[in-house]
Amino acid sequence: MLRLFPSLILLLLLALDLPAQSVVSLSAPRIAVAPFAYPGDSDYGVFIADRLGAELMRRSYSEALGRRRFVLVEPDTLRAELVRLVVSVKDRVQADALERLRRRTRADFVLTGTVESAGIRTIRARFVDLSTGRIIWSSEIHDDPAWTWTKANKNVGDIPAEEIVSRLGFSKADISPPPPDIEDLPTEIMIQPIFTTEWAYLAADCRIAIRQGMTRDAVFSLVPGEIKGRDNQQLVRIGAQDRERAMETTIADAILCGSIAVTGEAGTIHNLGLSLRLVDVESGHIIWNYATSGRKVWRWDKLSDILATMAGQQLEAIALFAASNAETMVSELVEQAVDGTSWCVLGEAYLSRGLVDKAEESFEQALTFDDAGARAQNGLGRIFIRRPEFFAKAIDHFKNAIDLDADFLEPYSNLARAYLERDMTDGVRFAKQAIKKDPTYSLPYRILGEYHARGEEDQKAASFLKTYIKFEPEDIETAVLLGRSLLRLKNYRQIDGLILPLYQAKPDAVDLIPILAIKDIKLRAFSSALDHFEMYLLRVTDRERKWFDDVRTVLPGNLAPVYASLEENERRVFRERFWREKDPDLTTELNERLLEHYGRVWFARRNFGDFAYPWDQRGAVYIRYGEPDYRSQSGRVPALTSSKVQQIKEQMYADLYNVPPQGELVGPVFPIRSSRGITLAQREEFANETSGVGPGDSRSISLMNPQARAENESYAPVTLFGDYSIVPWESWVYTEIGRGLVFDFTKEAGGSGFQFAPIPDMPPSIMRSTARMSEYAPKLAFQRTVDEIPDDFIEAEFAPIESLRHDVRDFRADPFRTRIDVSYEFPRSAVRTRESADGPVAIVSRSIALADSSFTRVFRRSDRVRLRPDEDGDIIDVIRADLEPGLYHLTLRIHDIGGGRLTAIEEDIEVEAYPDGELGLSDLFLATSINDYEGAIRFRRGRWEVIPRPGRTYTRKVVPFYYEIYGLTMNSFGQTNYRVTAGVRHKEGRRRRPAFLGEAKPEVTFTFDQTGDQDWERGQLELDLTEAKYGTNILTLSVMDLQTGKAVAKQVEFDYQEPE
């Protein structure tokens, strides 16, 4: 944001043709500062614009505008040729270029320019009125990196930025603008990668330090993620479309972004500049901008210390911006600061608001008194622990606090946290000392619990976190951490005993609900899981809910763009159909696969979303394929590896490399960044056998140039005795997907979380071929797998009900519907029976579901029945359903309640139509027996009781069956007359008979004529199989209407077996 001084205001008035007295009525103009085009060093051109923006933000106040400010806005990235075109004109930008500027900046004015270098850099700056295209100000400024030493110790970018601001008519005496009101501050901030083309590792270190500091200060709430440009390139500016994507894909309302610039000679670094700005996502306004710099004065100055100092200065500036009203809020404490204790209270208040310098002053003042030395030392330790370069100093302050007051417990916890955050186990000792001194002091329990949870030592983590929650039941965030450990431990009883009571006591603790839901899924309490997830999704934001609803995370690659092109109503229909197709048990209203998806999405958001929004690539894999069968991480390798996992890794290694591995393959098999690819001896041994490059060639690394070192790192796999990795990594193996899948992830410098391990720019010399490397590259392997196996879901396994057989037959229900009978049977010995007054019974849960071909409608029926075996020891049952004719997907599930066995059968069936008035014949319903109806309602067919024979297997000499005839024609006397012919033919004999001989005569045949007084009839027959052959036979029944001469026939196969 910017206010202009009179000299520039007059230029603006002239450009706008407005009288001077109308100045105060002007709305705040929007000014965009675009990167300067500099082909020789694009980092410098971008940084100069950012540095200039920081100057304008800091000295942009003007009484002439009635205490109103110009607004700095974030433009789109301007093409270099457009910037050069602007600089090349003298008075006015041409119409086509002007339109492009307007479209790309969405501003009223733009300030930009070019840089040329011939030893000394020449900066040509232009200030353009975008309403007219007039260049209302231009200037030429000179800069030279050497001047950072010779001109009053200036740092990179200082000279041109200050010169431009001065020539624009601003004075260093400008009064800073008033701080923003608290309600105007953003609440959710996303940290974008810091722009650089050559110093990625420096930018990554700065970004990490900024994130850690802002997380520690808790001034703003940070959200993970980043916005990437085309082809995943870094963004120079967060343009309008980029901000739209941020609004769609993140919950951030502001984005912290910036750039870094470096100067030096002969590959060394002398001077660094870091500029950050805060961009409002919705409006594109730059609401904060600040620049810092650092330099190496002596050759032994550490680069890490310089970076830490620069990041610390930025953090304090951010804190001052966020805590703009902090001085007012603590003014009462300032008046009360009269002794050591009150000065410590003031210092802690400042520190809680991120005002580090004022906090340090307050604690130092407290040390001048005798009443609060330990507290002041602890406060100073809390200040210095924020600065990595002062870690040792912070430790000394904490220990001084303990020396002054051994019973003061807070410095013990601070020491524990300081050490454990750096994975230094000394922290455990200090935490346990605090617990020993006061077992009711809660903080060290949480510190130890968080430390063990971070290492996935869940048994230890749960032990400490349970104790902490007992003392601090209001800390829901830590309760969620405990719940995650209990889920990994599969300790569902303690979730019911600890997490459920917390949620019942605090129903607004929304984050606890998914833990209860996932526990229910694991215990197969699907109805309760659905209730919990529905409650959770109702209470989260729309932006969060969309990740649970978005099916693109499990779609095949070719369907994702199809889904994206649909309207919202079409997407809803698509999702409903998609999840019905995925439902592993259509017989219930609950969709177990959808519930599992909800659980996976929540897990990905919680575990893989710290540095990328909504998750990094681990989350993408996890949502599709669930928990891997093997997972190893940097510094944490499972003690045991299954033979199947090792076999998959060994096959991948053998395909990729031509040297044996150095021990067991515990980590990434795909080569990742390493301090050494192979040993020198291995290079010499295999130099003649490989296409790699030897130790004396251009691949040698220049240790004098940090950037050269970063660009020429070696790559290698990770083995038990050969882990030279220099990036954090994870390796996942799925043994049951395809032929086995291996996904290797790395956390690269400047990246967002763990991503698929990248293909090396320079492959290791032990690599067999680059073709093999492309085949196993994790990103490419994932894309191929998504096309072939888009997701994976493994149901809980049950022992099947042995020898269960089923059959499906259809009959007419009414003129527009068809009844199907799904019958099934199994031997009594296959299930557990109970004795009852009527003899042994089996208690069975039976379910059917029939989904139409589009999966838009599903018929379901489910109940629990008590079944008695027949005289042969078989248990037989039938389930009926009335449906519209068509194609259906049938699911039949039979669950033995007593024995816990379950069989699920799925098949596609065609339900036949029986039009009213047309001659028709039902399916032939093979039966065990057909007798007069005696009360078993499910077997009733008119006056008969037809007990089905689902297995279609007979050893007796007769085969009974039931059928129905429809659409018979009645004569003038109201009677029907039809002929029924039944026959049995051996299937094998039919197959061997030449076609030109026609149909063979059946071994068994039976014909009779029948009359009736209805247009449809029930019928049942028993065919004598005395003349039939053993094996598979075909039963054929044909019906001829003797009134019309029309005929219809049906067939069914059955097995006729010789009695034992």
CA 921 to each of CA 817, 929, 964, 1007: distance values in angstroms, whole numbers, following the listed order: 15, 21, 6, 16
Q: Which helix (H) or strand (E) holds 240?
A: helix 240-249
> Residues 15-39: pLDDT tens digits?
444 333 333 334 678 899 999 999 8
Same domain assignment for residues 595 and 525: yes
Is position 871 within any domain? yes
Lowest pLDDT segment from 223-232, 826-835, 907-916: 223-232
Mean pLDDT on 829-836: 90
The span from the CA of 602 to the CA of 521, in Å, is 13
Is position 373 within any domain? no
Is position 990 within any domain? yes
The span from the CA of 327 to the CA of 331, in Å, is 6
Lowest pLDDT segment from 12-26, 171-185, 653-667, 902-916: 12-26
Print burial letters for 208-221: b (CB count within 10 Å at least 16), e (below 16).
Answer: bbbbebbeebebbe
pLDDT reading at 282 higher than 50 = yes
Is position 469 within any domain? no
Band of pLDDT at residue 390, cut at 50, 70 and 90? confident
Band of pLDDT at residue 658, cut at 50, 70 and 90? confident
Give the sign of the dihedral formed by CA 699, CA 700, CA 705, CA 707.
positive
Closest-CA residue to 86 (of 70, 60, 104): 104
Query: Do residues 340 and 356 lie in contact, with contact meaning Cβ atoms separated by under 8 Å?
Result: no
Is position 229 within any domain? no
The contacts of residue 36 (CB under 8 Å, 6+ apart) are 44, 45, 46, 48, 49, 83, 112, 113, 114, 115, 123, 125
Closest-CA residue to 194 (of 184, 208, 214, 180): 208
Alpha helices (runs of H) in 323-404, residue ranges in sequence order:
326-329, 331-336, 340-352, 356-366, 373-384, 391-404
Is position 480 within any domain? no
pLDDT reading at 180 higher than 90 = no
Mean pLDDT on 890-907: 90
Closest-CA residue to 622 (of 593, 595, 600, 653): 600
pLDDT reading at 682 higher than 70 = no
Tokens of 942: 């008119």
Same domain assignment for residues 736 and 766: yes
Q: Which helix (H) or strand (E) holds 472?
A: none
pLDDT reading at 692 higher than 70 = no
pLDDT given at position 1048 = 96
CB count within 10 Å of CB 429 equals: 12
Q: Which residue, 123, 147, 167, sits at the end of a domain?
A: 167
pLDDT given at position 511 = 92
pLDDT reading at 3 higher than 90 = no
pLDDT given at position 681 = 35
Query: Do residues 872 and 899 lie in contact, with contact meaning Cβ atoms separated by under 8 Å?
Result: no
The contacts of residue 71 (CB under 8 Å, 6+ apart) are 1, 2, 28, 29, 30, 31, 285
Same domain assignment for residues 665 and 782: yes
> Residues 338-374: pLDDT tens digits?
899 999 999 998 887 777 888 999 999 999 999 999 9
Bond before 661 cis per omega within 30 degrees: no
Mean pLDDT on 253-259: 93
Print burial letters for 906-923: b (CB count within 10 Å at least 16), e (below 16).
Answer: eeebebbbbeeeebbbbb
pLDDT given at position 806 = 95
Same domain assignment for residues 765 and 634: yes
pLDDT reading at 430 higher than 70 = yes
The span from the CA of 431 to the CA of 451, in Å, is 11
pLDDT reading at 70 higher than 60 = yes
Query: Do residues 279 and 235 lie in contact, with contact meaning Cβ atoms separated by under 8 Å?
Result: no
Residue with the bigger pLDDT between 375 and 179: it is 375
The span from the CA of 205 to the CA of 382, in Å, is 22
Band of pLDDT at residue 209, cut at 50, 70 and 90? confident
Helix crossing, 410-420 with 426-437: angle to 10°?
Answer: 160
pLDDT given at position 613 = 81
The span from the CA of 924 to the CA of 699, in Å, is 79
Mean pLDDT on 624-641: 88
The contacts of residue 453 (CB under 8 Å, 6+ apart) are 461, 465, 481, 484, 485
Residue with the bigger pLDDT between 118 and 657: it is 657
Same domain assignment for residues 766 and 888: no
Is position 435 within any domain? no
Mean pLDDT on 467-492: 94
Same domain assignment for residues 907 and 926: no
CA 45 to each of CA 42, 265, 269, 454, 542: distance values in angstroms, whole numbers, following the listed order: 5, 19, 18, 42, 40
Same domain assignment for residues 945 and 844: no
Print burial letters for 51-86: b (CB count within 10 Å at least 16), e (below 16).
Answer: bbbbbbbbbbbbebbeebbbbbbbbbbbebebbebb
CATH code at position 971: 2.60.40.10
Residue with the bigger pLDDT between 27 and 1059: it is 1059
Number of structural domains in the chain: 5
DSSP lists the bridge partners of residue 877 as 824
Q: Which helix (H) or strand (E) holds 846?
A: strand 839-852
> Residues 129-171: pLDDT tens digits?
999 999 988 889 888 766 655 555 677 788 888 888 777 766 5
DSSP lists the bridge partners of residue 685 as none
Average confidence score pLDDT of the chain: 84
Same domain assignment for residues 159 and 18: yes
Same domain assignment for residues 16 and 97: yes
The span from the CA of 699 to the CA of 328, in Å, is 60
The span from the CA of 670 to the CA of 629, in Å, is 18
The span from the CA of 785 to the CA of 788, in Å, is 5
> Residues 310-323: pLDDT tens digits?
888 888 888 778 76
pLDDT over 90 for what percent of the chain?
A: 51
Q: Which residue, 615, 642, 663, sits at the end of a domain?
A: 615
pLDDT given at position 678 = 41
DSSP lists the bridge partners of residue 819 as 811, 882
Mean pLDDT on 902-921: 92
The one-letter code for the residue type at 842 is A
Same domain assignment for residues 906 and 1002: no
Question: Which residue range(s) make up the domain with 675?
Answer: 630-788
CB count within 10 Å of CB 935 equals: 7
Mean pLDDT on 714-725: 86
pLDDT reading at 940 higher than 50 = yes
Band of pLDDT at residue 842, cut at 50, 70 and 90? very high
Band of pLDDT at residue 84, cut at 50, 70 and 90? very high
Band of pLDDT at residue 794, cut at 50, 70 and 90? confident
Rounded to the nearest 5°, which phi and psi values hold at 434? -65, -40
pLDDT given at position 877 = 94
Closest-CA residue to 467 (of 492, 496, 435, 489): 435
The contacts of residue 873 (CB under 8 Å, 6+ apart) are 827, 828, 829
Lowest pLDDT segment from 691-705, 927-941, 1020-1034: 691-705
The span from the CA of 483 to the CA of 135, in Å, is 63
CB count within 10 Å of CB 902 equals: 18
> Residues 1048-1057: pLDDT tens digits?
999 999 999 9
pLDDT given at position 47 = 92
Band of pLDDT at residue 66, cut at 50, 70 and 90? very low
Alpha helices (runs of H) in 777-895, residue ranges in sequence order:
778-788
pLDDT given at position 603 = 94
Burial of 128 (0-12, 13-18, 19+ CB in 10 A): buried
Mean pLDDT on 626-654: 89
Same domain assignment for residues 18 and 72: yes
Is position 393 within any domain? no
CATH code at position 132: 3.40.50
Query: Do residues 593 and 574 lie in contact, with contact meaning Cβ atoms separated by under 8 Å?
Result: no
Band of pLDDT at residue 693, cut at 50, 70 and 90? very low
pLDDT given at position 416 = 96
pLDDT over 70 for what percent of the chain?
A: 87
pLDDT given at position 265 = 65
The most distant pair of C-alpha atoms in the chain lies apart, rounded to whole Å, by: 124
Q: Which residue, 914, 932, 964, sits at the end of a domain?
A: 914
pLDDT given at position 662 = 81
Same domain assignment for residues 635 and 775: yes
